[in-house]
């Protein structure tokens, strides 16, 4: 029996946090300042191509927040991750998933099918399951919620195939390609141009995106004790490997600390993301960002694999190796530096570069007039995301700076220190 599940009373504090988060939602929505999709729509209209400015929290509205929050299903696994790990004892149990019974100490490949989609035929995607011979929590790994984000697919494959079931405590469930329709078309979106990662936990009677989200959430995610959702940058932008986590949630912090040497960026999750919906349902979740879309980048893949393997070790799910602990900073604030002119953007920094206030980040050259402008960093910090060299329009978000703690004023005693900065331009969850 697994004794670590279902201790509802320990969750009072966490629920209090959720209430606080809900109270904050109208504030964050107000600053998003853009129209968004009604979750109750019928799924037939075509969304505008949002390439130009999806770097804002554009899909977040208070209306969407209320509907999606209401739709969170009752979830049984309301136990903090830390408790899940420390109280696991007894014998491993069979895992019931997608109609299959997975015995302890075995590996299975299952198929998950969200729905009949536009072609009228079911589209299934693999779900890899390792149920350990020893008791412990269930960690879930999801990738390619955005269909063009390939690094996570390879990270999940490598992690899953390196786990020895006879030495694993608990279970690991991997869904390498969540958005199989987008993946087949090399697209971030679903075929109707909807962003699947704005519809969780979904709605069985909603749009196609809402139905797919609902199916994944109920069929797979509801079985998880913790979740790592893998992403990359979007639209010709790449991210330094980093964890995005809501550091106001102690269980999420526990999860974050398990990764070892990886940059952490505090980021309150956008409503409708898988990370938000899972955490709302009592499943601590983080996003791992690594690299850019439409490419397989080996350095980023290896970084992600090492982080998740370290997590398995620190959670006590696999025999402990040497902790991968070269310290990396935690950034509580970040900001995108935007192009003020159109033209050819060429970077003078690279991912991971440390910058001082006033340092040159790149140049933008008008191809007609040959006028060149320089882009400088308004902050001291680190380049945690950046656009690939390309032609840009004015307003294009070009460099994502993780801001050094010393460069911002944070009141120590404020429980919610992360408010909209006076300068504006704070962009969070760019690609998640």
Q: Which is nearer to Zn ion, 21 or 196 (CB)?
A: 196
**Measured at CB, which residue is nearest to Zn ion?**
231
Q: Which is nearer to Zn ion, 212 or 318 (CB)?
A: 212
> Min. distance of Cβ 336 from Zn ion in angstroms?
16
> Considering Cα of 63, then 66, then 71, then 76, what sign does the dihedral take?
positive
> Min. distance of Cβ 270 from Zn ion in angstroms?
11
Q: Which is nearer to Zn ion, 149 or 219 (CB)?
A: 149
Residue 428 · residue 245 · CB < 8 Å: no
Q: Choose the stretch contacting Zn ion; rule: CB under 5 A; options: 5-13, 53-61, 138-146, 259-267.
A: 138-146
H helix or E strand, kind and range, residue 21: helix 12-32
Tell me if 244 contacts Zn ion by CB under 5 A: no
Kindly give the pairing relationship between strand 169-175 and strand 122-131. antiparallel
Tell me if 194 contacts Zn ion by CB under 5 A: no
Among 231, 237, 266, 275, binds Zn ion (CB under 5 A): 231
For residue 281, the SS3 value is: coil
Q: Which is nearer to Zn ion, 242 or 341 (CB)?
A: 242
> Min. distance of Cβ 176 from Zn ion in angstroms?
14
Quickly count: other Cβ atoms within 10 Å of residue 371's Cβ.
11
> Min. distance of Cβ 158 from Zn ion in angstroms?
19
Tell me if 57 contacts Zn ion by CB under 5 A: no
Residue 227 · residue 145 · CB < 8 Å: no
Among 2, 57, 77, 146, binds Zn ion (CB under 5 A): 146
Tell me if 198 contacts Zn ion by CB under 5 A: no
Q: Choose the stretch contacting Zn ion; rule: CB under 5 A; options: 49-57, 276-284, 308-316, 423-431.
A: 423-431
Long-range contacts of 205-210 (CB under 8 A, 24+ apart): 206/39, 206/40, 206/41, 206/43, 207/39, 207/41, 207/42, 207/43, 208/43, 208/115, 208/117, 208/118, 209/43, 210/39, 210/43
Q: Which is nearer to Zn ion, 52 or 100 (CB)?
A: 52
Q: How many residues bind Zn ion (CB under 5 A)?
A: 4
Nearest to 24 by CA among 54, 72, 57, 65: 65
Helices (H), 33-168: 62-70, 81-87, 151-161
> Min. distance of Cβ 230 from Zn ion in angstroms?
8
Q: What are the residues binding Zn ion (CB under 5 A)?
A: 146, 149, 231, 431
């Amino acid at each position: 029996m697994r004794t670590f599940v279902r201790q509802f009373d320990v969750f009072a504090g966490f629920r209090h946090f959720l209430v606080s988060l809900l109270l904050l939602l109208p504030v964050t929505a107000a600053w998003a300042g853009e129209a968004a999709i009604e979750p109750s729509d019928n799924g037939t209209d075509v969304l505008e191509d949002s390439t130009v400015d999806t770097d804002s929290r554009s899909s977040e509205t208070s209306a969407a927040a209320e509907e999606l929050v209401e739709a969170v299903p009752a979830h049984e696994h309301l136990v903090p991750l830390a408790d899940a790990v420390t109280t696991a004892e007894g014998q491993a149990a069979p895992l019931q998933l997608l109609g299959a019974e997975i015995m302890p100490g075995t590996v299975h490949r299952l198929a998950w099918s969200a729905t009949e989609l536009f072609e009228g035929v079911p589209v299934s995607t693999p779900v890899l399951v390792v149920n350990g011979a020893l008791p412990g929590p269930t960690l879930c790994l999801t990738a390619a919620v955005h269909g063009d984000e390939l690094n996570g697919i390879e990270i999940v494959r490598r992690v899953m195939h390196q786990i020895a079931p006879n030495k694993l405590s608990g279970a690991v469930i991997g869904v390498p390609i969540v958005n199989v329709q987008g993946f087949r078309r090399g697209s971030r979106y679903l075929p109707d141009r909807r962003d699947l990662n704005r519809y969780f936990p979904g709605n069985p009677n909603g749009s196609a995106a809402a139905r797919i989200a609902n199916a994944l959430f109920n069929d797979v995610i509801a079985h998880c004790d913790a979740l790592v959702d893998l992403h990359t940058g979007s639209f010709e932008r790449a991210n330094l490997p980093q964890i995005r986590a809501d550091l106001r949630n102690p269980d999420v912090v526990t999860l974050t600390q398990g990764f070892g040497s990886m940059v952490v960026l505090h980021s309150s999750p956008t409503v409708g993301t898988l990370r938000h919906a899972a955490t709302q349902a009592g499943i601590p979740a983080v996003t791992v960002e690594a690299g850019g879309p439409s490419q397989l980048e080996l350095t980023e893949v290896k970084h992600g694999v090492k982080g998740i393997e370290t997590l398995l070790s620190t959670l006590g799910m696999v025999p402990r190796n040497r902790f991968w602990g070269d310290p990396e900073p935690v950034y509580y604030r970040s900001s995108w530096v935007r192009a003020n002119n159109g033209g050819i953007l060429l970077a003078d920094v690279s991912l991971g570069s440390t910058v001082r206030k006033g340092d040159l980040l790149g140049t933008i050259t008008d191809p007609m007039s040959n006028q060149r402008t320089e882009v400088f960093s308004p902050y001291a910090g680190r380049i945690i995301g950046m656009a690939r060299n390309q032609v840009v329009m004015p307003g294009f978000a070009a460099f994502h700076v993780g801001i050094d703690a010393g460069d911002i004023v944070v009141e120590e005693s404020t429980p919610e220190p992360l408010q909209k900065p006076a300068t504006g331009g704070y962009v969070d969850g760019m690609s998640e």
